[in-house]
Structure 1
């Protein structure tokens, strides 16, 4: 297994570390930076223009390189819409029509805040498109309150079969309801309700397999970048836990001298690095245009498991102090809940792995 990230990963990660320190609750919980200011800075850095999901630009940085930004985002637990806007741009570039490319360019220069609405089975939500209108509810839509427009992936027909969807760009005022979803992590999530929301013909950017494939590719790339965040969070939590084990004295010495504590720190390291290894494999498969599903299934499974393991082990070492408001450990616990939901259950991911391996073995 190749354990390297992208070619310029280290340089991009180094810049990102200083940027996200400004937004990190681990550094200053009282420092609230406006989302608009974040977007402006990311656009100035050119982060919204990195990567080419179509693979047509040989000079475009690889997905593994771009992951350097998101590892540092996870390390800082920085709450930003960077992932959401990146996914929207990737889907638009994959569609590749004139209007879609224009919107993607606008995202790239920071001129538009386009939030993806890609309902998922993990969250039990779906949006349908029939007779020129959207119906249904999409859950866990991040940063909906800052959107200029929404990029909606909706099903058509009776069963939402593959190749039977549309991608539409609608104004942020179009949904009939935008309801905040309170959560322990304080993540800005919303439920979007569509009750007969009309969609103009020119607002439908893609249909059928073209639409489904564009969203699938954006979601695959987004999953890798989200797993990179889990990796970064694990690295930061490992540093914090090892430091605490060195500084906390009990029974005549540092608790880090106990083998049981050392095992717990090792569990954090293993979980974080295993997630990273599978994320790198998935990134390379996506960039190479080969079937990434086996790698993605393993990545999602281990990322969801790692999100649970890293905080469990850290709390074991920190004991009661880890739950106190003054401690930063509980912030990782809050963030981990979102990652667990996003990556889905082990059963779902196991089924995806088996299905992908079956396709490979049968040549389907």
Structure 2
């Protein structure tokens, strides 16, 4: 991004990054490949994932160079997330890139698991974040897994990308809540609406675990992960919504009705214009959230709440309108619209619903205004 006066102007390097990721996805992750992978046992192609990390280097753009990353910023990673969302990239994007990597980066100053972090950035291993949240925020009261003698016992009922190689797990200890790494655990795959993003229930029965943080350090790492994951999820939602808008506009220009393209009818024009407004509004809030986290230019919780509330609803609305404007073909299994609609509905339930984020925004703005006389404002 450029300076604060031109917050949403992408740099030439970011534009080149977008083109490279878009080309890679177009060549190696087309719709037929996505459909094949979502029905496979693993749910993604480990070889392609390794290429994303090693060849393109896009799994650790916001990771410092000394930790094996590219030394970029969260805005760079958001650009990649947007393109991943447009292509419906199957694989542990949220679990690994959005949640596990930021948590490890937050703890890396103490030299914690830097070997694991490097392998995640290179794409040779994957990770998931087995930490319950309440509306996208960490609530220690929700942690039911317990630690005793270096082992964990309990269950996390729903973990995004829970079949990954490694788990970062929040567990209760004698001193509060700690963060642990688990290599082996019982994973029970869940039947989900969106087959391109796997989820699992994870069970621990005196399972060996390695402690990496406790107390305030654990809470700091978990909070950093949830904030980063929410910002990248918003960018991903923008990518999916933009792809649906593009396909709808193209279809409206070629589908004939009464001897004319349906895009020539005023009602269809208005619907497409409404979709465009939703996408552009969502994009602004998503990159504002990434920028706020990257540069500390705004209240991160407020920026993320606005982004998630906006992007979740925008993606769902655009996906639903895509189905409607495509008519009969839009309702079929053969058309891609249902894949994006399922992703939109699933994403809207991850890391807090739009309603939960609006409630959080109200707390930050209205409650603060009552308490101190000065409302919180997303200034950018």
Structure 1 length as normaliser, TM-score? 0.86
Match of 2:59 in 1: 48
Match of 1:244 in 2: 251
Unaligned 5+ residue runs, structure 1?
158-162
**Deviating more after overlay: 125-134 vs 8-17:** 125-134
Note the 1:89-238 alignment, pairs <5 A. 89-96=101-108, 97-121=110-134, 126-132=143-149, 133-145=151-163, 147-155=164-172, 164-171=176-183, 173=184, 175=185, 177-186=186-195, 187-199=197-209, 203-238=210-245
Note the 1:26-65 alignment, pairs <5 A. 26=31, 28=33, 32=37, 35-44=45-54, 45-52=56-63, 60-65=71-76
1:323-362 Cα offsets, whole Å, 9 max, x none, are 1122111111111121111143333112211233345873
Question: Secondary structure of 1:116's partner?
Answer: strand
Distance 2:107 2:351 in 1: 25
- What is the root-mean-square deviation in Å for CA atoms of aligned residues? 3.0
Matched, 1:291 2:299: yes
Match of 1:265 in 2: 272
How many angstroms does 1:182 deviate by? Answer: 1.0
Q: 1:143 to 1:71 in 2, by over 3 A?
A: same
Question: Secondary structure of 2:350's partner?
Answer: helix
Distance 1:85 1:91 in 2: 10
**Deviating more after overlay: 242-251 vs 187-196:** 187-196
Q: 1:185 to 1:337 in 2, by over 3 A?
A: same
Unaligned 5+ residue runs, structure 2?
1-5, 38-42
Count of residues in Structure 1 that have an aligned counterpart in Structure 2: 351
How many angstroms does 1:7 deviate by? Answer: 6.3
Specify which of 2, 8, 12 is matched with residue 3 of structure 1: 8
Conserved in 1, the CA contact under 8 Å of 2:145 and 2:155? Answer: no
Distance 1:313 1:355 in 2: 32
**Deviating more after overlay: 306-315 vs 75-84:** 75-84
Q: 1:167 to 1:141 in 2, by over 3 A?
A: same
Question: Secondary structure of 1:8's partner?
Answer: helix
Q: 1:6 to 1:205 in 2, by over 3 A?
A: farther
Q: 1:243 to 1:344 in 2, by over 3 A?
A: same
Q: 1:2 to 1:118 in 2, by over 3 A?
A: same
Q: 1:137 to 1:271 in 2, by over 3 A?
A: farther
Match of 2:100 in 1: 88
**Deviating more after overlay: 352-361 vs 260-269:** 352-361
Q: 1:23 to 1:208 in 2, by over 3 A?
A: farther
Q: 1:11 to 1:254 in 2, by over 3 A?
A: same
How many angstroms does 1:156 deviate by? Answer: 5.2
How many angstroms does 1:105 deviate by? Answer: 2.0
Match of 1:311 in 2: 319
Structure 2 length as normaliser, TM-score? 0.83
1:291-342 Cα offsets, whole Å, 9 max, x none, are 2111111111112211210112112211221011221111111111211111
